[in-house]
Every structure is written in C-alpha cells, then in structure tokens.
A and B are shown apart, each in its own frame.
Chain A
Amino acid sequence: MLEVGAIDVFYGDAQALHGVSFEVHEGEIVTLLGSNGAGKTTTVRTLSGLIRPRKGTITFRGIRLDKILAHKVVSLGIAHAPEGRHLFQQMSVRENLTLGAYDASAWNDREESMERVFRLFPRLKERSKQLAGTLSGGEQQMCAIGRALMTRPNLLILDEPSLGLAPNLVEMIFQVIAEIGESGITILLIEQNAHLALQLAHRAYVLENGRVALSGPGREVAANEHVRQAYLGL
C-alpha cells in the first residue's frame, strides 16, 4: 500500500533522514519506534508532503506522494494526526471535526462521519461545543484522532498519540487504535511507548539517527536484545 524507498530528508544543511525505507501493507498496523530526534516525525511529515525528500521515492497505491502538494495528499485516502495534536485551538470540537472533512471527497458525508467519531469517542459529543484549546490532554488527543478519521481514510498516520497522557488514558487510546485497525483502516503508528506499540503492531521499524536500524514482526522486534535494553528498559 505504502512504499518508502530510500528517502533522504534535510533541514537546511542538516540531514535528518538517511536512506530510510519501509513499507506498510493493506490492513496492517505498523509502528515506527525510536528515541527523540531519531527522525520519526520527520518521516511522517515527509509522507504528508509537509517536507520534501531530497532523494528517494514515496509511493501510495502506485501514486508518487513525493510529487504531490500537502493538501492533495488527503484526497488519496491518507489522514495524519500530527505530534502535539495541532488542533485549531480557538475553534469548537465540532468545527475541528468539520474541518477534518474539508476535502471534497469527504465534505458531503461529514455529518455521518461525525456521528461515527462520536460513537468511537462519546466524550467528544459531550464536549462538541467547547473550544478545542480548553479540552484536557486526553480529550484533545481524541479530537485529533477523530479529526483524522473524518475523511474516512485508508491509511491513518498517528504521531505520538500517547504523548503526555495519564496511564489509564494511554490504555484507552490504544484500545481505540486497535478498534480502528480492526475496522479495516491501515495504521502507521509513531510511538515512544514501545511496550504498547509492539503489542499492537503487526510489524515494527526502529529508527536510530535517521536510519532504519532494525525491522521485523512486532514480537520479533520486542524480543531483540538491543530493543529490550534501549526501548523497553528490560
């Protein structure tokens, strides 16, 4: 479904990614692990067209993503809930969700999509008139995931959905991610919480210093001695 082929990404003169390659297949949950600054967020921002790779290719269902403008990526069926949520703070939950369906392919079905999101996160329905900036961290994350689901994507990119949340909320968010995966949406999950991510994911890639250091099925990666020491603290 998604093939990333040896991309090099630079910020000015500083190279952030060195020949990163990976793939995500239809129906999978794939996780990218790595410490701060390893290049996880840079990778997914490149997928969404917010940054351009200097070298390499990104292909989604046969279409070259690295040639497409950021705002056109959505209409191909890719939704991205960015790191730090990036909600429209001064807008209500309902407005945030509505903007999630901005693309022409999703606009007409927005009310129905919103009902689906509310079924997944009943809390958002209670808060629908509240400004996004006044929500708690967990509610903001629900809103960010909900907004990404409004286009009914085929591929959902989640960047650090558990960042800064209390443990019980982290578990709740991961349950919802599992549910979304079961509903047939392919998921690319960026996480620092390697424990939970490796339990959930079919396959995992470990990024270190802008390079793919290790990859394989979730269980295999979880059993790797280096991963156990560096990421699982065992």
Chain B
Amino acid sequence: MTSQLIEQGLNGLMLGSIYALMASGLSLIFGSMKMLNFAHGELYMLGGFATYFAVTFLGLPWWLAIPLAMGLMLLAGFAIERVVIEPLLRRPGWDDTPIIATLGLGVFLQNAALLLFGAQFKNLPYFIEGTGSFVGIRMAYQRILILVVSVAVMALFAQFLRRSKLGMALRAVAQDRDAARLQGIDAQGTYMWAFGIAAALATLAAAMIAPIFSVNPWMGLTLLVKAFAVCVVGGLGSIGGAILAGILLGTAESLTVVLLSSQWKDVVSFTILIIVLWVRPSGFFGTKEW
C-alpha cells in the first residue's frame, strides 16, 4: 500500500507538472494582457499534433520533434496575437471582445483540426521505453521524463522572467502598464511574446503527455478546465501560484484515485477549488505576484 501511494504521488506530481505548464501560460497571458485565453486548450491540441507529425512524418527523434513543435507554436502564438487579438485590443471600449474572440478561435481550431487531421485518436510511442524500479517503487521512464523535463523547463522559465530583459518587461507590463510604457517598454510587443511563449509551454505539455493520453482534436477541453482551476487556486496571473497549485491539484487527483476511485478525482479537485475560493478568494498568491 505505501509503495502504491508513493507511486501514485509521483504520478500526481507528473500530472501536476503538466497542469503547471498549461496554467503558467494562461497566467502569463492573464498577467500581461488582463485577458483569459479560452483557446489555450486548442494551442495545446495543435502543439500535440505538431509533435505527432514531427515524429511520424518527419521521423524526428522526440528530443528534436518537441523543440521544433514548440518553435512552430511560438510563431503560431505570435500570429494569433497579431491577427486576432491585437486589432480588438486597439479599439477603445472593446476590452471584453478579445476574450470572446479566443472562445471563437478555440471552436474554429478544434473543427479545423477535426477536418484536417480526422477524428481518429493518434498515439505516440513512449519516448523512453521501460520501467524503473527503486526500493519497490515502480515508475515508467516516460513518466519520470515528463516530471524532469517539466520541472527543468519551469525553472528555466522562472529564471527567464526574473533575469532577462524581456522577462522583466513582461513583469513590468503585468504590474503597471502605463509605468512600463513610460520606461520605453512596448507593451503591445510584450503581448505577442506572452502569447507565443504560452503556446510553446502548452505544446511542451501536450508533447510530453501524448504517449500516455493520445492526440486528438478534443484533447484540450478537459485540460483547459483544469488549467483554469489551477490558475484560480494559485491566484490569477501568478506564475509561482500556477506551479504550486498545479502540483497540488495533480497530486490530490492521483491520491484520490488510489484511496477512493477514479470517478472521484474531479470532485476532489473542484472541491479544493471551492474551498480555496471560500477561504482565500484571490488564490494562494493573489494577482500580480510576479
């Protein structure tokens, strides 16, 4: 029982790190643009397909396919921000329309994927075959890989936000847009980066989990709901909160599966959401914490 608990705990950490990758992208967009991105699940889905085709069509190894897919989705994120979001943000008094636009964009991308790639679920082989075992705890190498890569990328992302010039500009715009513009920061330019980086992080999440779940046009739906919950629990716009809440929720869900049953896992995660909102309406860290 203990080893099973630990295994499920590790599984939870893995799932949590996927949530965290998704939620930190949402938080990046919300923090800088003050906007919810309802198309985030579809960015995740497209990232999954990009990785799938890079592996199957181009025959690339996973460690090349994923960076390529992330690069493509970075550019796709730039393009979406410039073509769909930017023209709406420019209009005074149209503050809510970009959110609605992302909702429409999500529907569009989902159906476009259905039309182009078909409804069939697509599977990728494990990036690393086999299962490791250590003092009686067994864990597939794929799952360990997900955990290690996600944690490494989140750490890099945090350093990027903290130290790089662009990262500082993103935080400045999130904290005080007008003050940022007075320092010479092109706020509109940082929006494009926020969207592109968020798309790339979603792609990484989709690519890493693809061998375990599968790639299909609807894969973003359930994950988006979870990622929003994670964002709210962590504090909207807070990257640190997104990471912490992602890992908490993932672990709670996995442990629920062992202790109760898999049917209860969404009940548990949304109960946590409700309790956090009750006790601390602004989430763990509140907004603006990065």
Answer whether A and B are interacting partners. Answer: yes
Report whether A86 and B184 are in contact in the complex, using a CB–CB cutoff of 8 Å.
no
Report whether B178 and A50 are in contact in the complex, using a CB–CB cutoff of 8 Å.
yes
Q: Report A45-79 CB contacts with B as 1/0, cut-off 8 Å.
A: 00011100000000000000000011111110001
Residues of B within 8 A of A100 (CB): 183
Chain A positions 13-50 with a Cβ under 8 Å from a chain B Cβ: 48-50
Report whether B182 and A48 are in contact in the complex, using a CB–CB cutoff of 8 Å.
yes
- Of the 9-residue stretches B49-57, B166-174, B270-278, which lies at the interface with chain A? B166-174
Contacts A88-B171, A89-B175; is A50 near B289 (CB within 8 Å)?
Answer: no
Report whether B184 and A151 are in contact in the complex, using a CB–CB cutoff of 8 Å.
yes
Report whether A103 and B290 are in contact in the complex, using a CB–CB cutoff of 8 Å.
no
Residue on B nearest A78 in the bound complex, by CB:
B182
Residue on B nearest A86 in the bound complex, by CB:
B179
Total contacting residues, chain A, CB less than 8 A: 28
Residues of A within 8 A of B172 (CB): 88, 91, 99, 102
Report whether B184 and A91 are in contact in the complex, using a CB–CB cutoff of 8 Å.
no
Main secondary structure of the interface of B (DSSP, over half): helix
Q: Report A115-135 CB contacts with B as 1/0, cut-off 8 Å.
A: 000000000000000000000
Residues of B within 8 A of A102 (CB): 165, 168-169, 172, 183-185
Residues of A within 8 A of B95 (CB): none
Q: Report A81-100 CB contacts with B as 1/0, cut-off 8 Å.
A: 01000111111000100111
**A152 interface hit (Cβ, 8 Å):** no
Report whether A90 and B183 are in contact in the complex, using a CB–CB cutoff of 8 Å.
no
Residues of B within 8 A of A90 (CB): 171, 175, 288-290
**B187 interface hit (Cβ, 8 Å):** yes
**A147 interface hit (Cβ, 8 Å):** yes
Residues of A within 8 A of B185 (CB): 71, 99, 102
Report whether A74 and B288 are in contact in the complex, using a CB–CB cutoff of 8 Å.
no
Report whether A82 and B289 are in contact in the complex, using a CB–CB cutoff of 8 Å.
no
Report whether A95 and B182 are in contact in the complex, using a CB–CB cutoff of 8 Å.
no
Q: How far is the CA of A99 from the CA of B180 in the complex (A)?
A: 8
The residue from B169, B182, B289 contacting A70, defined by CB atoms under 8 A apart: B182
**B176 interface hit (Cβ, 8 Å):** yes
Q: How far is the CA of A8 from the CA of B187 in the complex (A)?
A: 26
**A80 interface hit (Cβ, 8 Å):** yes
**A107 interface hit (Cβ, 8 Å):** yes
Report whether A95 and B175 are in contact in the complex, using a CB–CB cutoff of 8 Å.
no
Residues of A within 8 A of B96 (CB): none
Residue on A nearest B173 in the bound complex, by CB:
A88
Q: How far is the CA of A91 from the CA of B176 in the complex (A)?
A: 11
Residues of B within 8 A of A99 (CB): 168-169, 172, 180, 183, 185
Q: How far is the CA of A74 from the CA of B185 in the complex (A)?
A: 9
Chain A positions 217-231 with a Cβ under 8 Å from a chain B Cβ: none
Residues of B within 8 A of A48 (CB): 181-182
The residue from B168, B178, B186, B187 contacting A86, defined by CB atoms under 8 A apart: B178
Residues of A within 8 A of B175 (CB): 88-91
Residues of A within 8 A of B186 (CB): 69, 71
Closest-CB distance, A111 to chain B (whole angstroms)? 14
Residue on B nearest A157 in the bound complex, by CB:
B182
Residues of B within 8 A of A75 (CB): 184
Residue on B nearest A49 in the bound complex, by CB:
B181
Report whether A71 and B176 are in contact in the complex, using a CB–CB cutoff of 8 Å.
no
Report whether B181 and A70 are in contact in the complex, using a CB–CB cutoff of 8 Å.
yes
Residues of A within 8 A of B289 (CB): 90
Q: How far is the CA of A75 from the CA of B185 in the complex (A)?
A: 11
Closest-CB distance, A184 to chain B (whole angstroms)? 22
Residues of chain B whose beta carbon lies under 8 Å from any beta carbon of chain A:
165, 168-169, 171-172, 175-176, 178-187, 288-290
- 10 extra interchain contacts, Cβ-Cβ under 8 A, other than A48-B182, A86-B179? A70-B182, A71-B181, A87-B179, A88-B175, A88-B180, A90-B175, A91-B172, A102-B168, A102-B172, A107-B165
- 24 sampled A-B residue pairs with Cβ under 8 A: A48-B182, A50-B181, A69-B186, A70-B181, A70-B182, A71-B184, A75-B184, A86-B178, A86-B179, A88-B175, A88-B179, A90-B175, A90-B288, A90-B289, A91-B171, A91-B172, A91-B175, A95-B168, A99-B180, A102-B168, A102-B169, A102-B172, A102-B184, A107-B165
Closest 7 CB pairs of A and B: A74-B184, A103-B184, A86-B179, A70-B181, A71-B186, A88-B175, A102-B183
